Amino acid sequence: MLRPGVVWFGEALPADAIQQAMRAAESCEVFLVCGTSAVVYPAAALPERAVAAGARVIEVNLEPTPFTGYAHISLRGKCGELLPQIIPTPRTLEPLV
Protein backbone atom coordinates (compact mmCIF):
# COMPACT_ATOMS: atom_id res chain seq x y z
CA MET A 1 0.00 0.00 0.00
CA LEU A 2 1.29 3.46 -0.89
CA ARG A 3 1.06 6.29 1.60
CA PRO A 4 -0.34 9.56 0.20
CA GLY A 5 1.88 12.64 0.38
CA VAL A 6 -0.08 14.26 3.21
CA VAL A 7 0.31 14.90 6.91
CA TRP A 8 -2.60 13.50 8.88
CA PHE A 9 -4.08 15.23 11.92
CA GLY A 10 -1.87 14.61 14.92
CA GLU A 11 1.24 13.89 12.85
CA ALA A 12 4.24 16.19 12.93
CA LEU A 13 5.17 18.13 9.83
CA PRO A 14 8.59 17.30 8.38
CA ALA A 15 11.14 19.67 9.92
CA ASP A 16 12.69 20.59 6.56
CA ALA A 17 9.26 21.50 5.17
CA ILE A 18 8.57 23.78 8.14
CA GLN A 19 11.95 25.50 7.78
CA GLN A 20 11.45 26.00 4.04
CA ALA A 21 7.96 27.42 4.61
CA MET A 22 9.25 29.80 7.30
CA ARG A 23 11.98 31.08 4.97
CA ALA A 24 9.44 31.59 2.19
CA ALA A 25 7.09 33.47 4.53
CA GLU A 26 9.94 35.72 5.66
CA SER A 27 10.96 36.60 2.09
CA CYS A 28 7.63 36.99 0.27
CA GLU A 29 5.96 40.25 -0.75
CA VAL A 30 2.38 38.94 -0.57
CA PHE A 31 1.18 36.05 1.58
CA LEU A 32 -2.20 34.37 1.02
CA VAL A 33 -3.95 32.82 4.02
CA CYS A 34 -6.67 30.59 2.61
CA GLY A 35 -9.27 28.37 4.26
CA THR A 36 -7.75 27.95 7.70
CA SER A 37 -8.65 28.17 11.36
CA ALA A 38 -5.26 29.85 11.95
CA VAL A 39 -4.88 28.06 15.27
CA VAL A 40 -2.81 24.97 14.40
CA TYR A 41 0.90 25.55 14.86
CA PRO A 42 3.49 25.61 13.39
CA ALA A 43 1.53 26.46 10.21
CA ALA A 44 -0.38 29.25 11.98
CA ALA A 45 2.95 31.02 12.56
CA LEU A 46 3.56 31.44 8.82
CA PRO A 47 1.39 34.53 8.26
CA GLU A 48 2.76 36.04 11.49
CA ARG A 49 6.29 35.65 10.10
CA ALA A 50 5.24 37.16 6.78
CA VAL A 51 3.74 40.25 8.46
CA ALA A 52 6.80 40.65 10.68
CA ALA A 53 9.00 40.59 7.55
CA GLY A 54 6.91 43.27 5.83
CA ALA A 55 4.68 41.21 3.54
CA ARG A 56 1.14 42.21 2.66
CA VAL A 57 -1.25 39.50 3.84
CA ILE A 58 -4.55 38.61 2.18
CA GLU A 59 -6.85 36.32 4.15
CA VAL A 60 -9.59 34.39 2.31
CA ASN A 61 -11.82 32.44 4.65
CA LEU A 62 -15.43 31.65 5.44
CA GLU A 63 -15.14 33.06 8.96
CA PRO A 64 -12.85 35.42 10.87
CA THR A 65 -9.77 33.83 12.45
CA PRO A 66 -7.40 34.89 15.22
CA PHE A 67 -5.22 36.30 12.42
CA THR A 68 -7.94 38.43 10.78
CA GLY A 69 -6.97 41.61 12.62
CA TYR A 70 -3.42 41.40 11.24
CA ALA A 71 -4.39 40.78 7.61
CA HIS A 72 -4.14 43.75 5.25
CA ILE A 73 -7.15 42.45 3.32
CA SER A 74 -9.66 39.96 4.71
CA LEU A 75 -12.21 38.44 2.35
CA ARG A 76 -15.16 36.30 3.46
CA GLY A 77 -16.25 33.47 1.24
CA LYS A 78 -15.22 30.16 -0.26
CA CYS A 79 -11.62 30.01 -1.45
CA GLY A 80 -12.64 28.19 -4.61
CA GLU A 81 -14.91 31.06 -5.53
CA LEU A 82 -12.84 34.06 -4.39
CA LEU A 83 -9.31 33.06 -5.39
CA PRO A 84 -10.05 32.91 -9.13
CA GLN A 85 -11.33 36.47 -8.85
CA ILE A 86 -8.16 37.86 -7.24
CA ILE A 87 -5.37 35.77 -8.78
CA PRO A 88 -4.53 36.20 -12.46
CA THR A 89 -4.62 33.07 -14.59
CA PRO A 90 -2.59 32.53 -17.76
CA ARG A 91 -5.56 33.95 -19.70
CA THR A 92 -5.83 37.08 -17.55
CA LEU A 93 -2.25 37.96 -16.70
CA GLU A 94 -2.80 41.58 -15.88
CA PRO A 95 -1.28 43.32 -12.86
CA LEU A 96 -3.32 43.25 -9.65
CA VAL A 97 -3.01 46.92 -8.80
The pLDDT of residue 91: 63
* Distance of alpha carbon 27 from alpha carbon 22, whole angstroms: 9
Alpha-helix residue ranges (DSSP H) falling in 1-97: 15-27, 45-52, 79-86
Q: How confident is the model at residue 94 (pLDDT cuts 50, 70, 90)?
A: low
93, pLDDT greater than 60 = no
Contact of 26 with 54, CB cutoff 8 Å: no
* Distance of alpha carbon 36 from alpha carbon 59, whole angstroms: 9
What mean pLDDT comes out for the span 49-74? 95
Q: Is the bond preceding residue 88 a cis peptide, omega within 30 degrees?
A: no
* Distance of alpha carbon 60 from alpha carbon 52, whole angstroms: 19
